[in-house]
Amino acid sequence: MRPIQRLIHAGFATAAIASASVPALAWTVWPDVDFEWYANVGRAVAPAAEEIPAPRAGYIWAPGHWERRDAREAWVAGHWVKDDYARQVAVYGAPGRFASGASALSDREIVAAGGR
């Protein structure tokens, strides 16, 4: 057998042995990688457990959460939000309070309405 054929056969044999060993290596327990740790690298640590306060009349509790600010995430602590649902329904839920008109205005209509 010529040397080039021996090299090719050796390459195929090496590839066959390597491909046969990959499934066996995939089932090993080492290394045990903590993917959650990698996903949270660089993120500030949030409080472990947030205590939910007792209900307060006229307010809604907004629990702590992560918010995107610019190119990073920031933890926003839980806080009280004024419950103005009845007022919002009175303002926006009344018939005739929604925009009524063409979905796209022409230039003439915009100028007539005082735009530009």
Strand partners, 61: 80
pLDDT category at 51 given cuts 50, 70, 90 is confident
For residue 78, give both structure tokens: 């839980």
**What residues have CB less than 8 Å from 9, skipping those under 6 apart?**
1
Whose tokens are 């839980």? That residue is 78
Give the mean model confidence (pLDDT) for residues 105-113: 65
Please state, for a pLDDT cut of 90, what percent of the chain lies above it: 16
Write down the pLDDT at residue 61.
93
Does the structure show a pLDDT above 90 at 60?
yes
Give the mean model confidence (pLDDT) for residues 54-68: 91
pTM of this structure: 0.41
Higher pLDDT, 70 or 83: 83
Q: How far is CA 113 from CA 2, 4, 60, 98, in A?
A: 90, 85, 40, 17
Give the mean model confidence (pLDDT) for residues 68-73: 83
